[in-house]
Structure 1
Amino acid sequence: MDKVNAHILIVDDDPDLLHTARIVLKPLFSSITTESNPQQLNYLIGHQPFDVVVLDMNYTIGATSGKEGLFWLKHIKQKKPDQQVVMITAYGDIKLAVAAMKAGATDFVVKPWENEKLQATVMSAFKHSSSKKELENLKTEQRSLKKFISSSENELIGNSIAMRETFRVIRKVASTDANVLVLGENGTGKELVAQAIHQRSGRSEEAFIKVDLGAIPESLFESELFGHKKGAFTDARENRQGRFELANNGTLFLDEIGNLSLPMQAKLLTVLQSREVVRVGENVPIPINCRVIAATNGNLHEMVSTKEFREDLLYRLNTVELVLPALRERMDDIPLLTQHFLNNYTQRYRKSTIELTDQALEHLSGYTWPGNVRELQHAVERAVIMAEGDQLDADDFLLNPKAVTPVHSLNLDDMEKAAIERAIQKNQGNISKAAKELGLGRTTIYRKLDKYGIKY
């Protein structure tokens, strides 16, 4: 059996027992510390962490009551309530065992012990300790995530018709366990939508686990999502839970779902259908109960028609489909978003109050924002960092001049050109769809494209 990375402390007044216990436990655990004087416990547990403490019940010659051991057990649990302690004594008194367990002992071993019994008892205590630490780490992550989500900097902001509809869908779907597919361009806030759904759901106290599918190599897909058994492949040095297990009873957010290859899509579909995973290297199915929210900036429906995405997987994912609007489709929200980011970054960078000039706001409102809300956020952050006064003007924002359109011009040709450009961008370059939305015929729109020099 390979050693586990664990630190074990053995406290007993018998040097022969300490020597024997070290020999028995050394093949299993990476670090063993022995101590004959229980008075040293204060220093030892105060200066380094131990996964398991193995503690004798009696230290005075002739003592059999176990009171000393119980005293030190209570002392340890008072200082470190989560400490795993295995009690050990030469007398198999059931009342003593019960008293030790009531005082917080993990288990109880009678000496002279069987080596396998001591090994199994300490290993069990270690695994219990590891599980509690893993759970606490996960809870800490969740507390941090909730703080992150609830911070004003990471809110979904908007009062446009498009965003009011988005909020309505979030409210309706959050209380259900329905799988949700969030579609939208990069920078529109797909992850924020997933987090908002989770926080308003009955699973909000459980884990929210994000997986960036675009960053996982195909060779590691099963290991990352479904877990693996120690030794299943070269780098599998220990048993590992996959993301589905970590998200059990919570929410699993599968970002960039459109990047999955067809073989990976098939494996994911199998898990969604069976609601159980099998770790790599094992053959025992593990039931999973998590809500799945997927997101992509691609057009999955078109990918289905070109056989790049499985239709049955799409229908598993899009019980509810939510399409996030691009920022150019919700220009009414630019003043609100800009002020929101301005408030956040003046506070973060300890700047005095900074105001936006009318010219700056007009400049921002005349930009088509190919990077969407994320681009606006970064533009405001940079402007605040570089600001030298108490005002931000148009020149303080570095924007791509090719994406600026004179939307506030009252010239009819300028307004028509801006409307055509927005319609083409909204429909991702599809001229027929843009013409239909504008109420123009195909011949008319092509003539106007030539008139205004719009490239397509």
Structure 2
Amino acid sequence: MIDAKILIIDDNKSVLSALEILLQFEFRDIRTISNPNQITSYPNLKEVDIVLLDMNFSAGVNTGNEGLFWLRELRKKAPQTSVIMMTAYGAVDLAVKALKEGASDFILKPWNNDKLLATVKSAYELRKSKKQVTELKRKESHLKQVINQNKNYIIGNSKALNSVLKLVSKVAKTDVNVLITGENGTGKELIARELHKLSSRCNEVFISVDMGSISENLFESELFGHVKGSFTDAKEDRAGKFEAANGGTLFLDEIGNLSLQAQAKLLSAIQNRTIVRVGSNRPVPVDIRLICATNEDLDKMVVEGLFREDLLYRINTIRIEVPALRERDQDILVLADFYLRKFASKYGKNGLRINQAAQEKLMAYKWPGNIRELLHTIERAVILSEGNVLKPDDFLLSNKTAMATHVNGPATLEEMEQVMIERALEQNGGNYSAAAEQLGISRQTLYNKLKKIGK
């Protein structure tokens, strides 16, 4: 017994009775009406799964126009309901017209019971599919809203920052490729998200990819996807980041970390606006807004043969340089206050403030780790605070002299590298990805170096 609601509309009561008897053994809820005028007032019409609708209701009329009229009314009131048209006057052009108007199928009277049951069951499967598509679209819309929720904000009002935001507002309205450059920790991803938020794609998904964390052998699978069985661990078909971002924005961070081989594959996808999944030969068209970011000097890398010039041209239609925090001096205290309130609330230490001497210390510091370093510095100070006032000693700032581990003799290159790694990890609270970004290396490279020094 199929749990479906069926409504039969026919002015011939013997037809209604025959269909009701036939269908009641297959479907749970069968209702009938003999007057199509009742359609407009029929209760909960949208909950009806299938309507069997006669095409002629007036005596001596067999054009089918009445049925087509009521079909259109049904489509307006219950667009997801499957409608099967019925008539004793069969004509190919009439059937085609009904299908064009949105009918799911066409039945001739007198009918064959087996064929009629098969037709109604097919219409029910179509109804289920429509409901599933509607539900998937609803979930997709909700998921996009969740993914695009940006809890980080662009804070500040310095001249350098406002200049960048003015450029962002101009560029966002277009679909041109954008390259965002700047030191680590300056907030390049925030700028990318702002471009997306102000664009015509703002209601679509924003997909962020850390290119530095993708190993060479998984590059194609991560970006372009793969089909089941294409390699050992490919146990099912999987869409890559390009497909996932279709219709929205794809943000490729640390683009300068790609190998030349990976650059060639990326260039092909960007040029053709199509991708091919690993293990497949079928090209898949993609519609994305591409934004890339790097802390590397790509122009210098092109000269050194480390970055493809044609790829640079493709991703560099507009270049946005994000200023370092030291170039936004009037924003330092604004950001410090923002993070102070954020972490004071997080750790239950409301009422904290930074005294004048500590503010001067923060302003005088050059912030080599930029906003990310400031964030971790404030968080550490809040966690370790013992009173309501944060003083200069509460802020542990990096000292260049600390890089020299051997006061009485020169440090080796390896020792200097070890100190830099340890300092980056300390400044970033043990966060490997953030430390690697601050050092200008990939996370995998950081892991390898830590393994080498026994950490």
**TM > 0.5 fold call:** yes
2:171 maps to amino acid: V
Is 1:391 aligned to 2:389, yes or no? yes
Provide, for residues 77-125 of structure 1, a one-character-per-residue CA deviation record: whole Å limited to 9, x for no partner: 76xxxxxx976x9x99899xx7998754569899747999999989877
Q: Is the Cα–Cα contact under 8 Å of residues 57 and 67 in structure 1 kept in the other structure?
A: no
Question: Secondary structure, in 3 states, of the residue corresponding to 2:165?
Answer: helix
Q: 1:347 to 1:394 in 2, by over 3 A?
A: same
Q: Which residue does 1:34 correspond to in 2?
A: none
Deviation of 1:390 after TM superposition, in Å, equals 1.9
Distance 1:255 1:126 in 2: 41
Q: What are the within-5 Å matches in structure 2 for residues 253-402 of structure 1?
A: 253-402=251-400
Q: 1:383 to 1:236 in 2, by over 3 A?
A: same
Is 1:142 aligned to 2:165, yes or no? no
Q: Is the Cα–Cα contact under 8 Å of residues 225 and 243 in structure 1 kept in the other structure?
A: yes
**1:68 aligns with one of 22, 29, 46:** 29
- Please, what is the CA RMSD of the aligned residues? 4.0
1:329 maps to amino acid: E
Deviation of 1:304 after TM superposition, in Å, equals 0.7
Provide, for residues 175-232 of structure 1, a one-character-per-residue CA deviation record: whole Å limited to 9, x for no partner: 1111110111211101000000111111111111111212222222222222333343
Q: 1:376 to 1:117 in 2, by over 3 A?
A: farther
Deviation of 1:302 after TM superposition, in Å, equals 1.3
Moved more, 111-120 or 202-211: 111-120
Distance 1:242 1:224 in 2: 5
Q: 1:92 to 1:335 in 2, by over 3 A?
A: closer
Distance 1:235 1:132 in 2: 33
Q: 1:86 to 1:214 in 2, by over 3 A?
A: farther
Moved more, 239-248 or 192-201: 239-248
Distance 2:20 2:126 in 1: 31
5+ residue gaps, structure 2, are 9-18, 33-42, 56-66, 84-103, 108-112, 403-455
Question: Secondary structure, in 3 states, of the residue corresponding to 1:68?
Answer: strand
Provide, for residues 382-430 of structure 1, a one-character-per-residue CA deviation record: whole Å limited to 9, x for no partner: 22233332211112222223389xxxxxxxxxxxxxxxxxxxxxxxxxx
Larger radius of gyration: 2
How many percent identity over aligned positions? 43
Question: Secondary structure, in 3 states, of the residue corresponding to 1:294?
Answer: strand
Is 1:174 aligned to 2:172, yes or no? yes
Distance 1:140 1:403 in 2: 51
Q: 1:393 to 1:254 in 2, by over 3 A?
A: same
Q: Is the Cα–Cα contact under 8 Å of residues 198 and 204 in structure 1 kept in the other structure?
A: yes
Question: Secondary structure, in 3 states, of the residue corresponding to 2:149?
Answer: helix
Distance 2:399 2:140 in 1: 46
Deviation of 1:133 after TM superposition, in Å, equals 5.6
Q: 1:100 to 1:155 in 2, by over 3 A?
A: same
Distance 1:157 1:135 in 2: 34
Q: What are the within-5 Å matches in structure 2 for residues 221-260 of structure 1?
A: 221-260=219-258
Distance 2:386 2:286 in 1: 54
Provide, for residues 240-287 of structure 1, a one-character-per-residue CA deviation record: whole Å limited to 9, x for no partner: 332222222211101111111111111111111111222333333222
Distance 2:82 2:400 in 1: 68
1:186 maps to amino acid: N
Deviation of 1:350 after TM superposition, in Å, equals 3.9
Q: Which residue does 1:417 correspond to in 2?
A: none
Deviation of 1:318 after TM superposition, in Å, equals 0.7
Q: 1:62 to 1:135 in 2, by over 3 A?
A: closer
Q: What are the within-5 Å matches in structure 2 for residues 396-435 of structure 1?
A: 396-402=394-400
Give the TM-score of the pair, scaled to structure 2: 0.63
Distance 1:64 1:137 in 2: 34
2:237 maps to amino acid: N
Q: Is the Cα–Cα contact under 8 Å of residues 164 and 320 in structure 2 kept in the other structure?
A: yes
**2:155 aligns with one of 149, 154, 157:** 157
5+ residue gaps, structure 1, are 1-10, 13-37, 39-53, 79-84, 405-456
Moved more, 220-229 or 194-203: 220-229
1:380 maps to amino acid: I
Q: Is the Cα–Cα contact under 8 Å of residues 180 and 320 in structure 2 kept in the other structure?
A: yes
Moved more, 305-314 or 199-208: 199-208
Question: Secondary structure, in 3 states, of the residue corresponding to 2:29?
Answer: helix
Q: Is the Cα–Cα contact under 8 Å of residues 182 and 296 in structure 1 kept in the other structure?
A: yes
Q: Which residue does 1:408 correspond to in 2?
A: none
1:147 maps to amino acid: Q
Q: 1:125 to 1:386 in 2, by over 3 A?
A: farther
Question: Secondary structure, in 3 states, of the residue corresponding to 1:334?
Answer: helix
1:334 maps to amino acid: I
Give the TM-score of the pair, scaled to structure 1: 0.63
Distance 2:252 2:21 in 1: 64
Is 1:208 aligned to 2:206, yes or no? yes
